[in-house]
């Protein structure tokens, strides 16, 4: 046998055994024999590079390094799913779709796996690209990393289509997750929190050889493409299995909603027997023709619904209610909780949503509350254990003033949230708007992360997002910047923060000398330093109780001399200013505590203080904190910011409109508004009546747009952005002719060409594509297998129905 045939035969054998082992769980040879064949193939490929194949089984070991993941636009948008949390909601969904679709409806039921969504593209049976979900419109190219996952076929088998996309979840099985964490603990590293986040993080590792070491799996369930040889969802799952994909065997075809509910009841109990994390069931209308009739909303398909299993619930103590300010001025109350393990993560905080929610549940500080994860992602408080309530507790009085700028809060009639009206002077609103402006979905400006924006803002360099386009090299270079919480400390309102565990260790030196490990244990049990006095030390194993009591005595004495409320201490952290004042209250006479750590000179002066000489470890701690928490923006970062700001001028009008941060205007609605009005001048001149004519723009969105463009500061910002040549007008789409100008079309069914090609012909001739029939539709282009309900609606609305041939005669 010649070398080329030998290499080809080995590849075929290895692909077969890989499929048997990782997809069918039915190995035919031992691991040793598999490894020997793989080694033989590697040696042959190294000696004969002329027979290189990017999808060879040897490529699964990784080795490619990706420093920057390329952004790729999805050929077929990856929609989100609508959620239901009760069987009644699911039955309401079924009632709605029955009104829109004629005939029997069957459903495909699939378990909803909790992983990282992925789209794989195959061309001529070979994997050519793997892209993360991203925002649904575009994601990151992680092909090199996905190739290391052994259940992902590099080459297909059977009668696969020439080109298609298949979607699914990259998951980390419980067994592999446990093994991975055991290795990390053995190496003295922190264990990972949960399988889902670990799987997602693995896909963004730069070295694919590291990804190959992780026991990731890939479960696939959705095919997208043109003129595919399938007519239903269940058939697509069966076909995908034949082509070599790992499709969960738990998926089933059901004849009615009663059978769907039985499926849900079964898996609500038996999901814990599965090797993966699952959080619900996805129910899909099985027939593709009926799916097409039902269509999509702006965010999700009407033909699918995710039923979420009841979330895991725990009881814990609510220590304190604080308030956060968003970029629109919306105030969100936050419950700061006694840490509790929930669905694989430690939960310390949960949103309380608004004043109505607090009043409805009668939530008070000091209560024992029931916490669960909505969809097992976002923690929320669902109730209070009134049996354990302190009889002397007081009802919660909602904040009256903004916690950041002190402005009196407002609440508009009919709205649930309170707002800070200080649009131009409230720091979190200003910084939040700038963060939104530079975000990936908006202007996508590199180098301007939250930390950099904050230091430029607090140093008076920028005050709104139009200032980005007026920055110079000298404005940015050398500006001081605090590292963020993941790196060292937290900067907020001029104060440096340090983690509670570190703070306790530093304070204890000379007061009780608690070890660093014990300080971390204590820090993990509290959210604010004051809570240390109510800590039950007996419940924390290994702590020296005698030393801890001595430390508490010293700390209590120090706190009597210092007003803690004068300091900005964040959750899980302590202001270093407070830390210094607790240890050395006498130094306050030299400089106000609030000015501490704002400049290196003060630190140098403080370290020369005679009191510090008695506590060399504390001296060393403060020195290290100040040194590692203060850096400056260097040349490369400065150049990156300026180049990226310049590059952002090419972003289209819809991106710019979304970036402006108009309240209630999301990415999808910004695109539709931009396409409808065409430029900023027409939008600014539009009245409420003109705005609400657009689909997805109701009175609330219209009011937000009008309010935004009647504000003088916003008008000035738009003017400044225009002066710097940002795009405030949609580009005219190239057209072959204007024969269809003013006409709108809905395309339904299958044709001799793909629907996307047909829609392209409509746009190229000046026509407009609509997603569903309405009174404004001029023509319905009828293809084979079109749903009957569309025909009924077209006849009812008096919409002309034409064939593919008749359409092409219109544009001849």
As annotated, the active-site residues are 112
| Residue 605 Rama label (left phi>0; alpha psi -120 to 50; beta) | alpha
Instruction: Look at residue 545 and give its three-state secondary structure.
Output: helix
Bridge-based pairing state of the strands 779-782 and 800-803: parallel
Return the H-helix or E-strand segment holding 180. Answer: helix 174-186
The side-by-side arrangement of strands in the sheet containing 126-132 is 126-132, 116-123, 163-171, 217-224
Question: Across-strand partners of 250?
Answer: none
Both tokens assigned to 349? 């905080």
Q: Give pairs for 237-245: CB < 8 Å, separation 24+.
A: 237/108, 237/110, 240/166, 242/157, 242/158, 242/159, 243/153, 243/156, 243/157, 243/158, 243/160, 244/19, 244/23, 244/153, 244/155, 244/156, 244/157, 244/158, 245/23, 245/153, 245/166, 245/168, 245/220
Pick out the residues of the known binding site for Zn(2+): 402, 405, 420, 426
| Residue 513 Rama label (left phi>0; alpha psi -120 to 50; beta) | left
Q: How many Å is the maximal CA-CA distance in the chain? A: 94
* 766 and 744 Cβ atoms separated by less than 8 Å: no
Pick out the residues of the known binding site: 31-35, 80-81, 110, 133, 169, 284, 308, 402, 405, 420, 426
Q: What is the DSSP string of 527-542?
A: SSGGGGGG--GGGSTT
Count the neighbouring beta carbons within 10 Å of the beta carbon of residue 272.
Answer: 8
By C-alpha distance, which of 799, 788, 797, 795 is closest to 294?
A: 788
Q: What's the Cα-to-Cα distance from 343 to each of 120, 194, 266, 374, 706, rounded to whole Å?
A: 29, 8, 21, 11, 43
**Angstrom distance (rounded) from CA 713 to CA 718:** 9
The whole-angstrom distance between residue 401's C-alpha and the CA centroid of its chain comes to 31
Count the neighbouring beta carbons within 10 Å of the beta carbon of residue 584.
Answer: 18
**Angstrom distance (rounded) from CA 583 to CA 588:** 11
Q: What angle do CA 490, 493, 495 make, to 5 degrees?
A: 50
Both tokens assigned to 720? 């400044």
Q: What's the Cα-to-Cα distance from 300 to each of 105, 139, 325, rounded to whole Å?
A: 19, 18, 29
Q: What's the Cα-to-Cα distance from 440 to each of 122, 372, 428, 721, rounded to whole Å?
A: 27, 31, 20, 19
Both tokens assigned to 574? 């302590």
**Angstrom distance (rounded) from CA 436 to CA 662:** 11
Return the H-helix or E-strand segment holding 36. Answer: helix 31-47
| Residue 747 Rama label (left phi>0; alpha psi -120 to 50; beta) | beta
Pick out the residues of the known binding site for NAD(+): 31-35, 80-81, 110, 133, 169, 284, 308
Burial class (CB within 10 angstroms; exposed 0-12, middle 13-18, buried 19+) of 73 = exposed
Q: What are the b/e assignments for 340-367, b being 16+ CB within 10 Å? A: bebbbbebbbbbbbbbeebeebebbeeb
With a CB cutoff of 8 Å and minimum separation 6, the contacts of 511 are 550, 551, 554, 555
By C-alpha distance, which of 500, 526, 502, 497 is closest to 516?
A: 502
By C-alpha distance, which of 425, 473, 489, 767 is closest to 624?
A: 489
By C-alpha distance, which of 544, 558, 539 is closest to 512?
A: 544
């Amino acid at each position: 046998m010649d070398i080329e045939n030998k290499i080809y035969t080995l590849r075929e054998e290895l692909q077969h055994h890989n499929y048997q082992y990782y997809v069918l769980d039915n190995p035919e040879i031992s691991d040793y024999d598999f490894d020997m064949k793989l080694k033989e193939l590697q040696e042959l490929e190294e000696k004969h590079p002329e027979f290189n194949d990017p999808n060879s089984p040897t490529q699964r070991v990784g080795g490619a390094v990706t420093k920057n993941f390329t952004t790729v636009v999805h050929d077929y948008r990856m929609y989100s799913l609508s959620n239901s949390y009760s069987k009644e909601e699911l039955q309401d969904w079924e009632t709605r779709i029955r009104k829109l679709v004629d005939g029997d409806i069957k459903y495909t039921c699939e378990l909803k796996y909790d992983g990282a969504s992925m789209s794989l593209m195959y061309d001529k049976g070979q994997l050519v690209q793997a892209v993360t979900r991203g925002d649904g419109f575009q994601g990151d190219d992680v092909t090199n990393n996905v190739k290391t996952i052994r259940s992902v076929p590099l080459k297909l088998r059977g009668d696969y289509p020439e080109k298609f996309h298949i979607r699914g979840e990259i998951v980390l099985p419980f067994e592999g997750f446990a093994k991975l964490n055991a290795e990390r603990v053995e190496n003295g590293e922190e264990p990972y929190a949960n399988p889902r986040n670990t799987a997602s993080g693995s896909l963004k590792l730069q070295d694919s050889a590291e990804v190959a070491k992780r026991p990731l799996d890939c479960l696939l369930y959705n095919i997208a493409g043109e003129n595919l040889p399938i007519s239903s969802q269940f058939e697509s799952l069966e076909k995908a299995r034949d082509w070599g994909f790992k499709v969960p065997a738990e998926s089933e075809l059901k004849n009615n909603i009663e059978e769907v509910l039985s499926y849900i009841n079964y898996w609500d109990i038996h999901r814990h027997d599965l090797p993966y994390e699952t959080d619900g069931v996805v129910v899909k209308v099985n027939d593709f023709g009926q799916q097409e009739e039902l269509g999509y909303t702006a965010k999700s398909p009407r033909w699918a619904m995710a039923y979420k299993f009841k979330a895991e619930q725990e009881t814990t103590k609510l220590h304190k209610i604080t308030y956060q300010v968003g970029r629109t001025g919306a105030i969100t109350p936050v419950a700061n909780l006694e840490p509790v393990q929930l669905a694989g993560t430690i939960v310390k905080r949960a949103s309380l949503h608004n004043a109505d929610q607090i009043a409805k549940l009668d939530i008070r500080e000091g209560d024992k509350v029931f916490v669960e994860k909505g969809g097992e992602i976002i923690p929320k408080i669902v109730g209070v254990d009134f049996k354990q309530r302190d009889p002397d507790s007081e009802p919660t009085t909602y904040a009256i003033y903004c916690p950041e700028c002190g402005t009196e809060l407002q609440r508009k009639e009919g709205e649930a949230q309170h707002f800070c009206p200080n649009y131009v002077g409230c720091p979190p609103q200003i910084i939040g708007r700038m963060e939104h402006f530079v975000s990936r979905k908006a202007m996508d400006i590199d180098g301007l992360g939250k930390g950099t924006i904050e230091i430029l803002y607090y140093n008076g360099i920028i005050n709104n997002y139009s200032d980005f386009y007026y920055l110079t090299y000298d404005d940015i270079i050398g500006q001081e910047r605090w590292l963020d919480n993941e790196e060292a400390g937290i900067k907020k309102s001029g104060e440096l923060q340090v983690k509670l565990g570190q703070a306790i260790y530093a304070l204890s030196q000379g007061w009780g000398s608690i070890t660093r490990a014990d300080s971390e244990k204590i820090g993990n049990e509290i959210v604010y330093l004051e809570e240390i006095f109510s800590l039950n030390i007996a419940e924390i194993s290994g702590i020296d109780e005698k030393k801890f009591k001595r430390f508490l005595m010293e700390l209590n004495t120090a706190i009597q001399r210092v007003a803690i409320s004068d300091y900005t201490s964040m959750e899980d952290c302590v202001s270093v200013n407070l830390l210094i004042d607790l240890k050395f209250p006498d130094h306050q006479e030299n400089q106000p505590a609030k000015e501490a750590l704002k400049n290196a000179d003060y630190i140098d002066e403080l370290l020369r203080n005679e009191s510090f000489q008695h506590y060399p470890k504390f001296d060393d701690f403060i020195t290290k904190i100040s040194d590692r928490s203060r850096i400056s923006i260097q040349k490369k970062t400065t150049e990156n910011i300026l180049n990226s700001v310049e590059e952002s001028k090419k972003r289209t009008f819809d991106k710019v409109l979304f970036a402006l941060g108009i309240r209630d205007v999301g990415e999808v609605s910004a695109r539709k508004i931009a396409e409808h009005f065409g430029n900023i001048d027409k939008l600014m001149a539009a009245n409420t009546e003109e705005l609400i004519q657009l689909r997805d723009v109701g009175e609330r969105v219209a009011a937000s747009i009008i309010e935004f463009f009647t504000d003088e500061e916003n008008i000035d910002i738009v003017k400044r952005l225009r002066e710097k040549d940002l795009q405030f007008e949609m580009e005219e789409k190239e057209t072959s002719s204007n024969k269809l100008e003013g006409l709108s079309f809905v395309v339904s069914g299958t044709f001799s060409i793909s629907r996307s090609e047909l829609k392209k012909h409509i746009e190229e001739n000046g026509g407009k594509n609509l997603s569903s029939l309405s009174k404004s539709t001029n023509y319905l282009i009828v293809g084979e297998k079109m749903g009957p309900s569309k025909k009924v609606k077209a006849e009812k609305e008096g919409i002309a129905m034409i064939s593919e041939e008749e359409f092409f005669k219109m544009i001849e």
